[in-house]
């Protein structure tokens, strides 16, 4: 796992495997979040490298974390938990796609958790009904490596009904990531290259 924003968007050969993994079914699921899914799919058919803005609250909610902390959450989800839903990197933040309703419930769980056991969780932005997010393009093939201001998939959607973590799962990942950050600060170790997540493990 990288320790700088630039490293999160590195040119490591494995860094872009997720970015090219959006399947037609995954694109259809993303498009279903919008008011005019056919128009979105038509746009992507003509311009597969075009990001779009989609509303949250129906097909998915999104939890946005600072880049480093978000990658630590993602590592916890895959190495110790059930895996994740789709995940994107956008403008120095990690966007974790979550079950609808997560944006409403997670903030209160975080407040309780921070009060009770840890204060190492940075502010997380929860996007639900009434919000919208920029979704990366289905593919970045033949596009120069994304910059920290760009967007790309880390775990690309690959099905019409992806498993999405709920608020309890993301709370667990945030707590584990915060505790891991404390351990890292006490016992520093060499950071690893960009991760590739085995989506076949996802529940």
**For 179, what's the count of Cα atoms within 13 Å in the CB-facing half-sphere?**
10
In the chain, what percentage of residues exceed pLDDT 90?
65
What are the residues whose beta carbons fall under 8 Å from the beta carbon of 92, sequence distance 6 or more? Answer: 5, 66, 67, 148, 149
Return the pLDDT at 4.
Answer: 30
Q: Which range (1-10, 49-58, 96-105, 115-124) has the least confidence?
A: 1-10
**Residue 2 pLDDT class (50, 70, 90 cuts):** very low
Return the pLDDT at 193.
Answer: 46
- Across 168-197, average pLDDT: 69
Record the pTM: 0.78
User: Given a cut of 90, is residue 111 above it in pLDDT?
Assistant: no
Look up residue 122 and give its DSSP letter.
P
- Across 127-133, average pLDDT: 98
């Amino acid at each position: 796992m990288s320790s700088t924003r630039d490293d999160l968007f590195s040119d490591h050969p494995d860094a872009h495997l997720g970015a090219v993994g959006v399947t037609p079914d995954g694109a259809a699921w993303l498009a279903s979040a919008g008011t005019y899914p056919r128009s979105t799919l038509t746009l992507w058919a003509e311009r597969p490298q075009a990001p779009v803005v989609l509303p949250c609250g129906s097909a998915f909610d999104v939890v946005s974390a600072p880049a480093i902390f978000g990658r630590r959450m993602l590592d916890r989800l895959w190495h110790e938990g059930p895996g994740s839903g789709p995940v994107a990197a956008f403008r120095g933040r990690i966007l974790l796609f979550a079950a609808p309703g997560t944006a409403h419930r997670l903030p209160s769980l975080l407040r309780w958790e921070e009060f009770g056991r840890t204060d190492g969780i940075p502010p997380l932005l929860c996007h639900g009904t009434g919000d919208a997010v920029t979704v990366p393009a289905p593919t970045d093939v033949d596009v120069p490596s994304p910059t920290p201001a760009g967007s790309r998939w880390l775990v690309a959607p690959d099905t019409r009904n992806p498993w999405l973590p709920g608020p309890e799962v993301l709370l667990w990942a945030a707590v584990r990531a915060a505790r891991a950050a404390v351990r890292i600060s006490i016992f520093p170790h060499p950071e690893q290259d960009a991760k590739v997540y085995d989506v076949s493990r996802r529940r």
